[in-house]
Chains A and B, each alone.
Chain A
Amino acid sequence: MKTLVIYLMSEPETPELARAAVEGGADIVEFGFPFSDPLADGPVVRRAAERALARGMRTRACLDVLAQTHALVPETPLVPMTYSSLLEAYGWERFAEDVRGAGGASMIVADLPAGERPEVRRVQMVAPTSTDDRLRLAGEQTDGWLYLVTVTGTTGARGEVSPALPGLVERARRLVGVPLYAGFGISTPEHARTVAALADGIVVGSRALEVAEQGPEALRDYVASLRTAIDAA
């Protein structure tokens, strides 16, 4: 079984959306804590973050929504994804503790590469540009699985699956002993099938955010189409 990870931005509607994603077949839900200056993100996630912030989704509110979501889908790992500035302001250790307290399973910090603050347990990201040494380091420090950034670029839908992915998967398989989930640029069931044939799981973000705009049912159907595709891989 391949793993399906769906990214949602923290907003008051997120618990319902997360439940719909799980009903559609999501195994893990990434939980965006919005930041005003998200360097790793393309326009879709950036705009979603702007809107969430305008609606008052600061760290405390995000933790509350995380806890509400955990109560709705207690079996599904929820992984907050954010930027260093939020942790710096909240307190690095306190942030990790309160995420755990709200039912979060690990976290992802998009601008905190392997080697920086190793005491902060998190899912590490690697990219096509990562050297073998860095893949090894990220593999040693990561929390449970490794996030393969399929493209040299920011988040957002792409026309084709990145040609850099097979090489990255091949190197990571050789150097790292944890499951490999690939994300960035995956938006269609065809992409999902192609990527799932290589990696152990896929992460879908920007397109999921766009579909979530149409409500829980649309999101459930979209996630189900991804589920079907990766199960056939």
Chain B
Amino acid sequence: MSTTTFGTYGGRYVPETLIPALDELECGWREALADDAFHAELNGLLASYAGRPTPLTLAERFAPGKRIYLKREDLLHTGAHKLNNALGQAVLARRLGKHRIVAETGAGQHGVATATVCARFGLECVVYMGEEDMRRQRPNVERMHLLGAEVHSVDFGTKTLKEATSEAIRDWITNVETTHYLIGSCVGPAPYPELVAELQSVIGREARGQFLHAEGRLPEAVVAAVGGGSNAIGIFHGFLDDADVRLIGVEAAGAASLGTGRPGVLHGARSSILADEDGQIADAHSISAGLDYPGVGPEHAFLRDTGRAVYVPATDAEALAAFRDLAQSEGIIPALEPAHALARARHLDAELILVCLSGRGDKDLDEALAALERQ
């Protein structure tokens, strides 16, 4: 058992074939964390290639009467926070001597981020994506192709992120000696949840300093969308020790692994998952491909149980309204994922709020406009 569990959550529930690779990854990760050269290389890339720090924007017209600040991960290269993690893991993979990368993607943002860093470093890139997600996130599939990635369609089961993740793990089992699995969220077997949280925590560190600079105090609440939970864990990590700052995760109502799930094992970790009473994984439903996942990072389950963070749902309709309203009031088109966070933040019983705007909405236009039309 790895040391990196979160209470009773986390662990390594994977076939034996992967255990030596996870040990190697954990060891390489600890060495990298202790190595100034790793941090210097990563920080250099985050600044000169990814565009960090990202700004903090006060959204005055979106929520009159409140002071809602948006942490603008939508302005990061490739259009979402996913690049923070992909860059860090690509630097790590090169240190481990791996030249082939596999990844799963739901909304396609992680697939694009992975294809991007593979192009940047000359790594072979294979991305697994559900057939249903390829349909609703077509522009991202085209971007991945242009960036030189192989995109494998997964045409069984739910045909979404759950199956894509299983197939990526099966590929990794088969090619583990040459391949790094560049997981896209704070899920999976240890050390992935901890590793991804650390790479995404740059969001929270920056946002905390920026918020203090803007307001001279910390926010009352930090709000972020939670699918697997990587943008949320990244921004939460900046405020975990600030006991007065409420941490609020917003799940898609039809994919509320924390709100309505039960303890279970999915994709290598024990966490809170959508499953039936026999442990069979249930289908999740969300208009947002990035939240359409029946599991969640084990650290979120831990934060929920300890009460440090709370998790609330937003419906497809609420997210769509926030999507449209942010575009029309602020001139910012959010991705459908952070639109869930915006939907809860605008009605929150607090005035000073930080929202993680985890990605931009270009990829969602077809799906969102059609859905708004139907309403």
Chain A interface residues (CB < 8 Å from chain B): 35-40, 42, 46-47, 50, 53, 58-60, 83-90, 110-116, 124-131, 134, 138, 149, 152-154
Q: Is the CB of A129 within 8 A of B267?
A: no
279-305 of chain B: CB within 8 A of chain A: 279-281
Q: Is the CB of B277 within 8 A of A154?
A: no
What residue in chain A is nearest B279 (Cβ atoms)?
Answer: A89
Inter-chain contacts of A50 with B (CB < 8 A): 156-157
Inter-chain contacts of A37 with B (CB < 8 A): 157, 162-163, 166, 266-267, 281
Q: In whole angstroms, what is the CA distance A47 to B155 when docked?
A: 12
Q: Is the CB of A85 within 8 A of B15?
A: no
Q: Is the CB of A154 within 8 A of B173?
A: yes
Q: Is the CB of B20 within 8 A of A131?
A: yes
Q: In whole angstroms, what is the CA distance A38 to B281 when docked?
A: 11
Inter-chain contacts of A46 with B (CB < 8 A): 156
Q: Is the CB of B268 within 8 A of A129?
A: no
Q: Is the CB of B1 within 8 A of A39?
A: no
Among candidates A36, A110, A115, A134, residue contacting B15 with C-beta atoms closer than 8 Å: A110
Inter-chain contacts of B268 with A (CB < 8 A): 39, 111
Q: In whole angstroms, what is the CA distance A106 to B207 when docked?
A: 53
* Shortest Cβ gap from A135 to chain B (Å): 10
| Segment of B6-14, B69-77, B346-354 in the binding face | B6-14
| 10 residue pairs, one from A and one from B, having the closest CB atoms | A89-B279, A85-B279, A127-B17, A153-B174, A84-B265, A58-B278, A40-B15, A85-B265, A113-B16, A86-B279
Q: In whole angstroms, what is the CA distance A222 to B266 when docked?
A: 35
* Shortest Cβ gap from B247 to chain A (Å): 27
Among candidates B13, B166, B175, residue contacting A112 with C-beta atoms closer than 8 Å: B13
Q: Is the CB of A127 within 8 A of B280?
A: no
Inter-chain contacts of A111 with B (CB < 8 A): 13-15, 265, 268
Among candidates B15, B169, B170, B278, residue contacting A89 with C-beta atoms closer than 8 Å: B278
Q: Is the CB of B280 within 8 A of A88?
A: no
* Shortest Cβ gap from B114 to chain A (Å): 20
A115-B1, A116-B11 known; A90-B281 Cβ under 8 A: no
Q: Is the CB of B281 within 8 A of A36?
A: yes
Q: Is the CB of A89 within 8 A of B162?
A: no
B52 contacts the other chain (Cβ, under 8 Å)? no
* Shortest Cβ gap from B167 to chain A (Å): 10
Among candidates B16, B156, B177, residue contacting A125 with C-beta atoms closer than 8 Å: B16
What residue in chain B is nearest A61 (Cβ atoms)?
Answer: B278
B32 contacts the other chain (Cβ, under 8 Å)? no
* Shortest Cβ gap from A130 to chain B (Å): 6
What residue in chain A is nearest B278 (Cβ atoms)?
Answer: A58
**10 A-B residue contacts at CB 8 Å?**
A39-B15, A39-B166, A39-B268, A42-B170, A53-B280, A112-B13, A130-B16, A134-B16, A134-B19, A152-B176
Inter-chain contacts of B180 with A (CB < 8 A): none
Which of B15, B19, B162 has the most chain A CB within a 10 Å cutoff? B15
Q: In whole angstroms, what is the CA distance A199 to B242 when docked?
A: 59
Inter-chain contacts of A138 with B (CB < 8 A): 16
Interface string of B158-191 (1 = CB under 8 A from A): 0000110010011001111100000000000000
* Shortest Cβ gap from B172 to chain A (Å): 10
Among candidates A36, A39, A47, residue contacting B173 with C-beta atoms closer than 8 Å: A39
A58-B280, A152-B17 known; A85-B173 Cβ under 8 A: no
* Shortest Cβ gap from B161 to chain A (Å): 12
What residue in chain B is nearest A116 (Cβ atoms)?
Answer: B1
Q: Is the CB of B281 within 8 A of A40?
A: no
Q: Is the CB of B279 within 8 A of A129?
A: no
A88-B264, A113-B12 known; A35-B279 Cβ under 8 A: yes
Q: In whole angstroms, what is the CA distance A131 to B213 when docked?
A: 52
Q: Is the CB of A89 within 8 A of B14?
A: no
B53 contacts the other chain (Cβ, under 8 Å)? no
Q: Is the CB of B177 within 8 A of A152?
A: yes
* Shortest Cβ gap from A159 to chain B (Å): 15
A111-B268, A115-B1, A152-B177 known; A127-B277 Cβ under 8 A: no
Inter-chain contacts of B12 with A (CB < 8 A): 113, 116
255-278 of chain B: CB within 8 A of chain A: 262-268, 270, 275-278
B147 contacts the other chain (Cβ, under 8 Å)? no
Q: Is the CB of B20 within 8 A of A130?
A: yes
20 new A-B contacts, CB < 8 A, other than A40-B173, A129-B16, are A37-B166, A37-B266, A39-B15, A46-B156, A84-B265, A89-B262, A90-B278, A110-B15, A111-B13, A111-B14, A112-B13, A113-B15, A116-B1, A124-B16, A125-B15, A127-B16, A129-B17, A130-B20, A152-B17, A154-B173
Q: In whole angstroms, what is the CA distance A36 to B273 when docked?
A: 13
Q: Is the CB of B170 within 8 A of A88?
A: no
A39-B169, A58-B278 known; A83-B16 Cβ under 8 A: no
* Shortest Cβ gap from A164 to chain B (Å): 10
Q: In whole angstroms, what is the CA distance A131 to B16 when docked?
A: 10
B58 contacts the other chain (Cβ, under 8 Å)? no
